[in-house]
Amino acid sequence: MKKANKIVIVVILLILIITILLICKLITQKNNSIKKENNLAINIQTQNNATEVFSNIAKSGQMDWKIRLVNKENPLPEDFEVELENIDGTRKFDKRAIEPLKQMLKDIKKQGITNVWVQSAYRSIDYQKNLYQKSINKYLKFGISQEEAEKLTEEYINKPGTSEHNLGLAIDFNEVDEGFENTKAYSWLQENASKYGFILRYSKDKEEITGVKYEPWHWRYVGQEHAEKMKEQNLCLEEYVNSDSLI
């Protein structure tokens, strides 16, 4: 009889322990869900604020061309033009920023890092249209919908007019893949690019804010002053144009 009572007590204790563990798990899941929703709301608000700030600056005529925000919410106007200069025989860049870019490329090679090159720089709207459509067509061949094909494409390729390459201030290095982060060139850029006015535009920890997947190969010119501040404060461009750093 005593043995039976002990077994009942042990079973009851086990049930209580399991119940408590389940309750704790549910509470943790709920808290994580609330935290995730709050972070998402903050990121959306950051994007909206950045768009509003950028629009106000543009309307006031006080826009700094170096930190012009170009993304899905801030497309370039149809009449946008930029004066270009050659980086090499085929690639072009905004003439106002060509010297810092050339100096950066020169200095990185002085360090013995020769296996680095600019794969892509300025792209015309027409070129961007072709690039965008080619990617969509590639996904459509796998039998997925047009909507899903566009969604997958826009993880890495922006719609024409919403790409920084159309702006003339962005460059892609080497093979344009994540393997670039394992190169000496990437390490050097992480350490020194801001001195020449360049930033890693789409970092891994800012994906929810920029709306673009991590791109270690994509670097954007914003000017030395802005680049140094953004690096010091760990801000992406969307956050920076909405921060006190511009005041």
Spatial neighbors of 101 by CB under 8 A, at least 6 apart, are: 87, 93, 171, 196, 198, 221
Query: What is the gyration radius of the CA atoms in the chain, in angstroms?
Result: 25
52 classed as catalytic: no
Of the CA atoms within 13 Å of residue 7, those in its CB half-sphere come to: 4
Spatial neighbors of 134 by CB under 8 A, at least 6 apart, are: none
Q: Cα(111)–Cα(191) distance, rounded to whole angstroms?
A: 13
Q: Cα(108)–Cα(115) distance, rounded to whole angstroms?
A: 10
Residue 159 near residue 132, CB atoms below 8 Å:
yes
Place of tokens 């798990």: 25
- Exactly one of 85, 148, 150, 215 is catalytic; name it: 215
Please identify every residue annotated as catalytic: 215
